[in-house]
Amino acid sequence: MKKRGFADLFFFFLLLYLFLPILATMLYAFATNWNKTVLPEGLTFKWISTLFQDSSFIEAFGRSVLLSGGAVLLALLFIVPAIFVIVLYFPKYEKWIQAAVVMVYAFPGVILAVGLIRAYAHIGVPMILAVLGAYVISILPYIYQGTRNSLRSVNARQLLDAAELLGASKAQAFTKILLPAVYPGLFAGALLSFSVLFGEFVLINLVVGSRFETVQIYLMKKLSTSGHIASSVVFVYLVLMGILTFIISMLTKRSKGAAKV
């Protein structure tokens, strides 16, 4: 019994450690002045409204959405069909996708940035395209996981065979039967990928730099100039991540529920 208390202490510490920085940053976004006192001197909406009146923030936000959303869209268009085909028709090659997933984990942004610069910086390719392409590859683990789990939970192969047996063409079986069944898992994977890319800093900063100012680069600039604006950016970022995480967990729950039926 005593050991439980010991473990509970660690759990409590974990929660405290994970939440304290978030709460403090959120509070800072609404603090009038917080340099000399332990708690803020007063509360205000000034910083948030200043942030939303700053057109360079709005533009940076737009760029982040465009870049991350574009990469996720490309992954859905080109990577998901490939995973479908390999898992359903060439299962013996699936281990190659798994190997690719591990390799993507093994080469983080800072390494990939060196490669992208060495390969494409001197041949006239717009570097933002190189980053976009690298983003598509870097979310492979989440896209693969999302696709694979939902294919497994709906027994995709049997589902397709049954549809074809009943007279549906391959394309019909795919779009009318399989896609709606795996949609929640796929969508959850896409949102997770989006939220990961939205927080990406290394590749965009090293390869493109401030020529394409995303939210993360905007935040980095504000870090040294205005703490209040920086914390407002983090506040907005956290709210967005919170919404995305909530939707993802709802979708995952739903696709799990569907699998049980």
> Structure tokens of 219?
């935040």
Interacting residues of 78 by C-beta distance below 8 A, sequence separation 6+: 136
Q: Which of residues 97-136 bind other proteins (CB under 8 A)?
A: 100, 102-120, 130, 133-134, 136
> Of 153, 159, 183, 201, which lies in the binding site for other proteins, with binding defined by CB under 8 A?
201
Nearest approach, Cβ of 83 to other proteins (angstroms)?
8
105: exposed, middle or buried (C-beta count within 10 Å: 0-12, 13-18, 19+)? exposed
- Interface mask toward other proteins for 33-72; x: CB under 8 A: --xxxx----------------------------------
* DSSP secondary structure of 100-126: HHHHHHHS-HHHHHHHHHHHHTTTT--
Segment interacting with other proteins (CB under 8 A) among 8-16, 47-55, 149-157, 160-168: 8-16
230 binds other proteins (CB under 8 A): yes
> Of 48, 151, 181, 219, which lies in the binding site for other proteins, with binding defined by CB under 8 A?
219
The rounded distance, in Å, linking the Cα atoms of 114 and 13 is 39
16 binds other proteins (CB under 8 A): no
Looking at the Cβ atoms of 66 and 241, the one nearer to other proteins is 241
Region at 155 (left for phi over 0; alpha for psi -120 to 50; beta for the rest):
left
Nearest approach, Cβ of 231 to other proteins (angstroms)?
7
Looking at the Cβ atoms of 25 and 255, the one nearer to other proteins is 25
- Interface mask toward other proteins for 159-188; x: CB under 8 A: ------------------------------
Interacting residues of 141 by C-beta distance below 8 A, sequence separation 6+: 101, 104, 105
The identity of residue 200, as a single letter, is E
247 binds other proteins (CB under 8 A): no
Helix axes 179-198, 55-74, angle to 10 degrees: 140
State the residue for tokens 């006192």: 37
239 binds other proteins (CB under 8 A): no
> Of 151, 190, 234, 251, which lies in the binding site for other proteins, with binding defined by CB under 8 A?
234
